[in-house]
Each structure stands twice: as structure tokens, then as C-alpha cells.
Structure 1
Amino acid sequence: MQSPATTNPIDALLAERGVLLADGATGTNLFAMGLESGEAPELWNEDAPEKIEALHQGFVDAGADIILTNSFGGTRHRLKLHNAQDRVHELNRKAAEIACRIAGKAGRRVIVAGSVGPTGELLVPLGALTYEEAVDAFTEQMEGLKAGGAEVAWIETMSAPDEIRAAAEAAIRVGLPYTYTGSFDTAGRTMMGLAPKDIHTVVDALPRGPVAVGANCGVGAPDILASLLDMTEARPDATVVIKGNCGIPEFRGTEVHYSGTPELMSEYVRLAVDGGAKIIGGCCGTSFEHLAAMRTALDGHKEPENRPDIAEIVARVGPMRNKPASESGAATATRKTRRRRD
């Protein structure tokens, strides 16, 4: 049974502030706090809540208008890899409760969005997971997030349109407004071939649409900004979110370092505003320092100036790693897992 429509906190805050700043990386910052490779960040909601509080506090202090719960891998399919598939509700509820505690003492309005990542499984016919099973898994996760106080279901780093639709249907079932973003990391498209310009129509058949759509993760600022141009050109009136990686990952010994500087991320923010983004944040590699610089850049550049083109983007934030989606064919894949948001 579909729940009644709920209040959309994003539109309300956009009306007040014009453009919103979302938070930065979860995984990168938790690794810096001691999270081990292969360990589930969601388990820290119980085992190390003070570190999750520190994560959210750092982003709030840096100026975030939206913070995402530590629940990206919070479906039963992800948690079963850590023998925690029977703890979906409690781990997601605690993720939201921790974020709400920090947001509640911010001294200003901060939205708590419940992070929902891919299941890591392929849907039928490419894999064994049915659409109905995916909806059930996302519903279970979102019920926990809602019980903990999450105001929005933040569906992110998606590749397959069917999985986006399943997560969106779950949000509608639970009664949460929702956003969704794809990761356009394969020749300008998602791994399953979705082009940025087509992001808007993925859930057209559902009874309630998203409050925002967009892109996150991917392969750096230039590429996600190119995706932004396609998305805003396709539907100029849409609320579009981009949450780009902080540069390109580089291995330094056994550690991954992201090349983006606070100055680069500041320029990325200015270009994002000019390109029509209404919610801008950082993904992998984005630290508290980066986000603070992005806040300063956004506060000084809330009114869009001239819309950039690809040439200007490349000149200001560096070369693209992939061809734009308009120059590539549809991509397909058979991998069963996606990266964690970090």
C-alpha cells in the first residue's frame, strides 16, 4: 500500500538558500579514522558511533546543508557479506539517529538524507535478483532509515535503471521523498548504459517522482560536470544534484590518494552552479577541508553566470577521462558488484 505524500524538505531549503551544499566522502574519511579495507562501515553505527558522529560533525562544521547517513551498503544483500543481514533495520535506524543528533544541534537547518546504495546484485535477466526482491530489500532498509529520522531517501551511485526504479518504488512505499543519482563512469554513461540526459525519465511509470536527480562518484570533476550539462539541457527546470569525486585516485604505496585540491573543488562548485546544479557536494576523496572551501566558493557564487561548455570545463578543472555520453554507445556489463561510496 502506498503511503501518502510527505513533505519535501529539499524544496523548502532550496527556496530559502538557492543552492544547497551536500556533504563529502564517507568511506575516505572513515578509512582515515581507522576503518579497515573490507570492513562494513555500517557496523560502526553500533560499534563506533562516536566516529560516525565525528564524520557528520566535520561536514556540518564545514557548512553542509545536507548530510548523508552511514548506510550506503545497508541492504540485506550487502550486509550478508558481513553476516549482518538480520540487522538491517537496527543498523539503518542507528545510522539515521546518529546523523539526526548532529543535525539537531547544528544551529541551522541541516537535512538528514538516508544513503541507499546498490544491492551489489544484478537484476533479472542479467542476474538472479528479481525486481520484487529488490523492492523488498530497499523497503526494509528505508523503513529503518525512516524510523531513525531520515527525511529523504538518497538513492546513489546507481547503474541500472531497473534498480533505480526498485529503490524509488520502495521510497514511495515507505513514505519518504527521494532523490537518485547515477554514476556515469563508463564512456560517459553508467556501467549499464544509462546516459545522463535520460536520468529524468527512469521512474516516469511510478506514481510519485523524485525531488532531485543527478550524478555522483564517477571519474572526477570534468566528467561529472559534462554529465551535468547533459542533464540540465535535457530538463532545465529539474532539481539536479552532482556529487563529484575529489580529483582522480592515485596509489601511493598501499594507500589511495585523491588528487583534487580545495582550489579545484572550489572551481568545480562555480562551474556546477553555472551549469544549473541546485545541490552540489563531493564524493570519494572529499575531506572536511575540501567541503569548507566548497562552502566558501558557493557562498560567493550562488547566482549563475555564463553557462560553461566542455572546452571551458577542461580549461578550468582539467581534462576529461572519458568521452561525453553523446560520443559513446550504450555500455553493458556483467559485474555483480559496485564500488562503495567513499
Structure 2
Amino acid sequence: MTDALSTLLATRDWLMADGATGTNLFNMGLSSGDAPEFWNTDQPDNIRALYRGAVEAGSDIFLTNTFGGNASRLKLHGAQGRVQELNRVGAALGREIADAAGRPVIVAGSVGPTGEIMAPMGSLTHELAVEMFHEQAEGLKAGGADVLWVETISAPEEFRAAAEAAARAGMPWCGTMSFDTAGRTMMGVTSADLAAVVEKLPNPPIAFGANCGVGSSDLMRTVLGFFAQGSERPVIAKGNAGIPKYKDGAIHYDGTPELMADYAVLARDAGVRIIGGCCGTMPVHLRAMREALENRPKGPRPSLDEISGRLGAFSSASDGTGDDGGPARRERRRAR
């Protein structure tokens, strides 16, 4: 049976994903340092509001509030024994909202990194990583998620472990990495590297791409790097709403709805099939993105000059794949 996301992709040139999870929950009162996943059971109406806000703004896909829902991350809060419960409830709340939408909406089970370093550089073995991801995947599957959404990954070893876990759970999946250090992930992966990794997997994702990182201009440069490798697999772009700035005791993102609308159109014109936002992206941004995607005519694939002219200067001289790399000039942010 064809999975729900592949079915929807077959009928549409592009799909719109959701925006930020953390930013929206902080605005609802989540305290810094608290585990957002606890709100799945403790504040379910807030999580329903999070999901509903994306759907009402026009998202075709939204991610569950389970980014840090693996045993390693939850152990920091003494909740490593609640992995399946918190993921199941997070997905079930999403299923409730999606089924009431009146149109096809995909519930994507968010699976973030373990927070540990993979062997041989660190102590996390492939087998243990697969086990942690599989435990989370089974919870999301039980709650009714349509697809696993592996995101903000830095290491290819962790990407491969997540792929194996998805296969073990019998779940379709998508995967994105965060390119935030002069066009590379924290572990040095380039856009070309990820495109190569994806095609060598025995269980490749439905779609792959980039999320978070520095800003929308850098993310778009990474996206063009995927296409330069000739991949025909659907590409995902989930860029931050501008650049984070510290103001009045909190982090704020400076991206306007107009900028995010421009980013969405540039992503579509580049050939991206799934377009969303990451940190700082609120429903007001999503509404502007949806309107632009529906109403602005499709144009040619944008050049790097057009991207930087519309979205702002790149944070480094290189996309990481050449020899002209320069140091990043902007603060690196990876939290959602």
C-alpha cells in the first residue's frame, strides 16, 4: 500500500510543511530547559493548538511535538522510561487534528538527534542508536503518525541508524540535516555528501533535505547543492525565519512574513517539493508562504545572486563543497 505522503506528493507539485515547534511553545509559556514532550500529556490543549495553528495557516504536513523524544534526550529529565508514551500521545493528538482538517494533512512524527556522538568519535554505537530510534518510531506509529520525520541530524552514521530504525518499524520516513557551519553540518557533512548517503541507503527516505541552520539564504544554497548532484528524490527545505537576535531577555527571529514568502517561492522555483519553516516560523509566516506559493507564478531556478539579493547575504563564502570556504559570520542556531 502506498503511504499517505507519497500519495499526496503524486498529486501536487509542492506541499507546505509547518513552522517552528519550540518558538511557538515558548510563546505559550514553555520554560527554557523544560522538555516540550511533557506537554503532550500535561498540556494537550496547547499541543492541539500548535498543530491546529499550522493546519489553519495552510500546512499540508505538520511535525509532532516529539523532537527530543528519544531515551537519551529524555534521560536528562529522568523520563527515559516514557519514550513510547510521550511519542504515542504526541502523534495521537496530531492524528486528531489532521483527521478533522477536512482535507489531506500528513502527521509527521518528529525524530531529532540523540544528542550523543556516534562511534568511533563518541560512545554511541550503531546498534544502540538504532534501538533508541526504533523505540521512538514504534511510539509514533502507535499514535497514528503517517511518516517518520528525522530532522536536524549532523552525522551520517546517525542518519543511517534512523533509516534502519524506520525499516524495523515498517514506517516510511523523511530525513533532513542541519547545515550551519560554512555550508556543512556540525560533523562536516556537505550537501553533496548527504545526497550521496541517501542514495546508498537500503531503505532510502521518501524525501530528504535541510532544516534549521543559519538562515533561509544559506539553506537555499544548500538546496541548490542537492540538485547539483542530480538527485531526483523529492527535496525538503525548512529554513529559519531570519536570524536570531537577543532582545528583551529572549531570542527573536528577524524574518518577516514577506521574507518567508519570498523564500518559499524561491524554494519552489528551485524544485523543492516540501517547503516549510523552522526556528522562528509562526502561523503568520506560514499564511504568507501559502498565499505566495499559490498565487505567484512559477519562475526559473534562482541563481545564488538572486537568492542572496532577495533573502540576505550568505554567512560564509562557500557552501562547504569547494576550497573557498570562509568562517561563518552569524551565530549558529540548532534548536527548534
Quick one: which of 44, 47, 50 aligns to 2:45? 50
- CA distance in 1 between counterparts of 2:276 and 2:23 reads 15
Which residue of the partner structure matches residue 173 of structure 1?
168
The residue type paired with residue 310 of structure 1 is L
CA contact (8 A) 1:118 1:163 kept: yes
- CA distance in 1 between counterparts of 2:206 and 2:124 reads 27
Alignment of 1:147 onto 2:142: yes
Alignment of 1:11 onto 2:6: yes
Which residue of the partner structure matches residue 305 of structure 2?
311
CA contact (8 A) 1:73 1:340 kept: no
- CA distance in 1 between counterparts of 2:334 and 2:100 reads 29
TM-score by length of 2: 0.95
Which residue of the partner structure matches residue 329 of structure 2?
none
Instruction: Give the 3 Å change call, closer, same or farther, for CA 66–148 of structure 1 in structure 2.
Output: same
SS of aligned partner of 1:189:
coil
The 5 Å alignment of 1:88-127 reads 88-127=83-122
The residue type paired with residue 51 of structure 1 is N
Quick one: which of 226, 230, 237 aligns to 1:231? 226
CA contact (8 A) 1:112 1:152 kept: yes
CA contact (8 A) 2:240 2:281 kept: yes
Which residue of the partner structure matches residue 33 of structure 2?
38
CA contact (8 A) 2:213 2:333 kept: no
Alignment of 1:251 onto 2:258: no
The residue type paired with residue 228 of structure 2 is E
Which residue of the partner structure matches residue 163 of structure 1?
158
CA drift of 1:327 comes to: 3.6
Which residue of the partner structure matches residue 184 of structure 1?
179
The residue type paired with residue 128 of structure 1 is S
- CA distance in 2 between counterparts of 1:119 and 1:29 reads 22
SS of aligned partner of 1:167:
helix
SS of aligned partner of 2:281:
coil
The residue type paired with residue 313 of structure 1 is I
The residue type paired with residue 292 of structure 1 is R
The residue type paired with residue 230 of structure 2 is R
- CA distance in 2 between counterparts of 1:107 and 1:98 reads 16
Instruction: Give the 3 Å change call, closer, same or farther, for CA 211–163 of structure 1 in structure 2.
Output: same
- CA distance in 1 between counterparts of 2:77 and 2:334 reads 14
Instruction: Give the 3 Å change call, closer, same or farther, for CA 267–9 of structure 1 in structure 2.
Output: same
Q: Choose 103-112 or 315-324, whichever is displaced more.
A: 315-324
CA contact (8 A) 2:212 2:334 kept: no
SS of aligned partner of 1:71:
coil
Q: Choose 10-19 or 152-161, whichever is displaced more.
A: 10-19
Instruction: Give the 3 Å change call, closer, same or farther, for CA 340–223 of structure 1 in structure 2.
Output: closer
- CA distance in 1 between counterparts of 2:123 and 2:216 reads 35
- CA distance in 2 between counterparts of 1:339 and 1:131 reads 26
CA drift of 1:325 comes to: 1.8
Q: Choose 118-127 or 204-213, whichever is displaced more.
A: 204-213
CA contact (8 A) 1:188 1:324 kept: yes
The residue type paired with residue 150 of structure 2 is I
Instruction: Give the 3 Å change call, closer, same or farther, for CA 11–304 of structure 1 in structure 2.
Output: farther
- CA distance in 2 between counterparts of 1:10 and 1:23 reads 14
CA drift of 1:19 comes to: 0.2
Which residue of the partner structure matches residue 260 of structure 1?
255
CA drift of 1:11 comes to: 2.2
Instruction: Give the 3 Å change call, closer, same or farther, for CA 85–330 of structure 1 in structure 2.
Output: farther
- CA distance in 2 between counterparts of 1:35 and 1:294 reads 26
CA drift of 1:164 comes to: 0.4
SS of aligned partner of 2:10:
helix
Alignment of 1:23 onto 2:18: yes
The residue type paired with residue 290 of structure 2 is R
CA drift of 1:128 comes to: 0.8
Quick one: which of 314, 320, 328 aligns to 1:320? 314
CA drift of 1:7 comes to: 2.7
- CA distance in 1 between counterparts of 2:243 and 2:233 reads 28
Unaligned runs of 5+ in 2: 327-331
Alignment of 1:197 onto 2:189: no
Which residue of the partner structure matches residue 3 of structure 1?
none
Select the structure with the greater relative contact order (CA < 8 A; seq sep ≥ 6).
1
Q: Number of aligned pairs?
A: 330
Identical aligned residues as a percent: 55
CA drift of 1:328 comes to: 5.1
**Deviation sequence 1:304-331 (CA, Å, 0-9, x none):** 4211111111111111112322345899
CA contact (8 A) 1:8 1:211 kept: no
CA contact (8 A) 1:168 1:203 kept: no
Alignment of 1:217 onto 2:212: yes
TM-score by length of 1: 0.93
- CA distance in 1 between counterparts of 2:142 and 2:240 reads 30
